[in-house]
């Protein structure tokens, strides 16, 4: 009788432990999805100075709009904790906003949707979805199409590298004809910071300067530069940034004149400390470069305001640590008048 009672107790104990492990597993999985908190690095500024930004609360992404002068402070859309919102992009006239929705678990859910928000009616509609990862979108300067970066895979290319989107190319979506055109067929390891030329005849993008790299050592030592890709000859990208620059470029934008770029790069590459990323201004004609920020942090994703006199950018004040902490700043084109923009509903 005692033996039977002992077996019953052991059985109930095992059941309790099993249930506890299942509950713990569900809790841990939920916690993983809820780790993102606060402002993300994804934002844009319209021709009417409205700021669209992506923020997270307990892992749930929301796209918000803010314009202090026009008393705009609204949530445009909220998704689930399994999803992400990427790269909001305003149309040239500021009347519509495109954005990407995809899944946090990109390896299991290789799918992206591109949506369009009409700021006049507040209507949101899905433009298209693809069984790939769309990482960035950008309106054509003439407003009749969207260009986007698409990754074909999500993996690690080496045992020491983290999993990331790869096999990347540039595509165009015609908003009138509602069809897609593939611009490049490069399947690049990395592409980012998509920028459309003012004449809409070419695009600029950051990617590895690896055309002549053959050995593993040469590939490892390639630099990230800004390239121009003509729609007439997309198979022949040309370098637009300083070819003599030793440090990589990670994100950039062009000034309205088109002869200067604002970009971020490592400022302390030889220090041996945690890398610090600052913003620089480079004149394509004179080849002159000037460091604009000295925040000793991670300054990234510059956007030029509609007035052509203001640079907006993000700063991760927790760079090098487990959880990012983004803040939005602005300054003049010369790096003066640095000011943090306090966005509502972040905390």
Contact predicate 153/165, CB 8 Å:
yes
Q: How many structural domains is the chain composed of? A: 1
Better-scored residue on pLDDT, 109 or 233:
233
> CA–CA separation, 315 vs 77, rounded Å?
24
| Residue 161 pLDDT level (bands cut at 50, 70, 90) | low
Q: Could you give the dihedral angle defined by the CA atoms of residues 36, 319, 134 and 46, in that order, rounded to the nearest 10 degrees?
A: 90
Assign residue 317 the CATH number of its domain: 2.120.10.30
| Residue 34 pLDDT level (bands cut at 50, 70, 90) | low
Residue 261 placed within a domain: yes
Is residue 338's pLDDT more than 90? yes
> Residue 4's pLDDT is what?
45
Residue 191 placed within a domain: no
Q: What is the mean pLDDT of residues 207-226?
A: 82
Under DSSP, is residue 219 helix (H, G, I), strand (E, B) or coil?
helix
Closest listed residue to residue 46, CA positions, set 112, 90, 96 = 90
Residue 208 placed within a domain: no
Contact predicate 289/249, CB 8 Å:
no
Q: What is the pLDDT of residues 265-308, one digit of tens each?
A: 999 988 778 899 999 999 999 999 999 999 999 999 999 999 99
Q: What is the mean pLDDT of residues 128-146?
A: 95
Better-scored residue on pLDDT, 155 or 290:
290
Q: What is the mean pLDDT of residues 103-131?
A: 93
Residue 252 placed within a domain: yes
Q: Could you give the dihedral angle defined by the CA atoms of residues 18, 24, 28 and 29, in that order, rounded to the nearest 10 degrees?
A: 50
| Residue 153 pLDDT level (bands cut at 50, 70, 90) | confident
Q: What is the mean pLDDT of residues 251-257?
A: 92
Domain that holds residue 292: 241-347
> CA–CA separation, 158 vs 241, rounded Å?
28
CA dist list (Å): 225 to 32, 116, 203, 248: 34, 31, 14, 6
Adjacent-strand bridge partners of 106: none
What mean pLDDT, rounded, does the chain reach? 88
Q: What is the pLDDT of residues 196-211, one digit of tens each?
A: 998 899 999 999 998 7
Contact predicate 117/99, CB 8 Å:
yes
Closest listed residue to residue 168, CA positions, set 198, 206, 197 = 206
Residue 330 placed within a domain: yes
Closest listed residue to residue 253, CA positions, set 201, 208, 294, 192 = 192
127-136, 149-158, 220-229: segment of lowest average pLDDT: 149-158
> Residue 18's pLDDT is what?
44
**Full-model pTM:** 0.87
Is residue 35's pLDDT more than 90? no
> Residue 11's pLDDT is what?
45
Which burial class, exposed, middle or buried, applies to 193 when counting CB atoms under 10 A from its CB (0-12, 13-18, 19+)? buried
Q: Which residues contact 68 (CB under 8 A, 6 or more apart)?
A: none
Residue 292 placed within a domain: yes
Total number of residues shown for the chain: 347
| Residue 8 pLDDT level (bands cut at 50, 70, 90) | very low
> Residue 29's pLDDT is what?
52
Residue 127 placed within a domain: no
Contact predicate 206/251, CB 8 Å:
yes
Residue 152: both structure tokens together? 């074909």
Residue 306 placed within a domain: yes
> Residue 22's pLDDT is what?
42
């Amino acid at each position: 009788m005692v033996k039977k009672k002992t077996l019953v107790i052991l059985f109930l104990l095992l059941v309790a432990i099993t249930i506890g492990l299942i509950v713990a597993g569900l809790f841990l999985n939920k916690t993983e999805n809820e780790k993102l908190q606060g402002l993300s690095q994804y934002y844009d500024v319209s021709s009417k100075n409205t700021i669209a930004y992506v923020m997270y609360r307990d892992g749930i992404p929301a796209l918000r709009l803010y314009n202090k002068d026009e008393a705009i402070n609204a949530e445009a859309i909220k998704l689930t904790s399994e999803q992400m919102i990427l790269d909001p992009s305003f149309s040239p006239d500021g009347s519509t906003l495109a954005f990407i929705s995809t899944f946090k678990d990109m390896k299991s859910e290789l799918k992206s949707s591109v949506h369009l928000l009409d700021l006049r009616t507040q209507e949101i509609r899905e433009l298209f979805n693809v069984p790939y990862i769309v990482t960035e979108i950008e309106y054509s300067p003439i407003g009749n199409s969207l260009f986007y970066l698409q990754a074909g895979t999500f993996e690690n290319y080496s045992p020491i590298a983290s999993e990331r989107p790869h096999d990347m190319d540039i595509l165009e979506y015609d908003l009138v004809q509602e069809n897609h055109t593939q611009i490049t067929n490069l399947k690049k390891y990395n592409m980012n910071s998509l920028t459309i030329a003012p004449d809409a005849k070419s695009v600029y993008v950051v990617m590895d300067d690896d055309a002549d790299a053959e050995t593993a050592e040469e590939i490892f030592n390639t630099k990230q530069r800004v390239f121009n890709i003509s729609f007439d000859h997309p198979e022949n990208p040309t370098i637009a940034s300083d070819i003599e620059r030793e440090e990589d470029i990670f994100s950039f934008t062009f000034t309205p004149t088109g002869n200067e770029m604002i970009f971020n790069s490592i400022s302390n590459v030889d220090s041996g400390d945690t890398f610090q990323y600052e913003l620089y201004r480079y004149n394509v004609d004179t080849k002159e470069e000037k460091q604009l920020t000295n925040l000793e942090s991670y300054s990234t994703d510059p956007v030029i305001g509609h007035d052509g006199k203001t640079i907006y950018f993000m700063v991760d004040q927790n760079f090098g640590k487990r959880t990012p902490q983004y803040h939005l700043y602005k300054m003049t084109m010369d790096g003066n008048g640095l000011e943090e923009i306090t966005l509502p509903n972040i905390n």
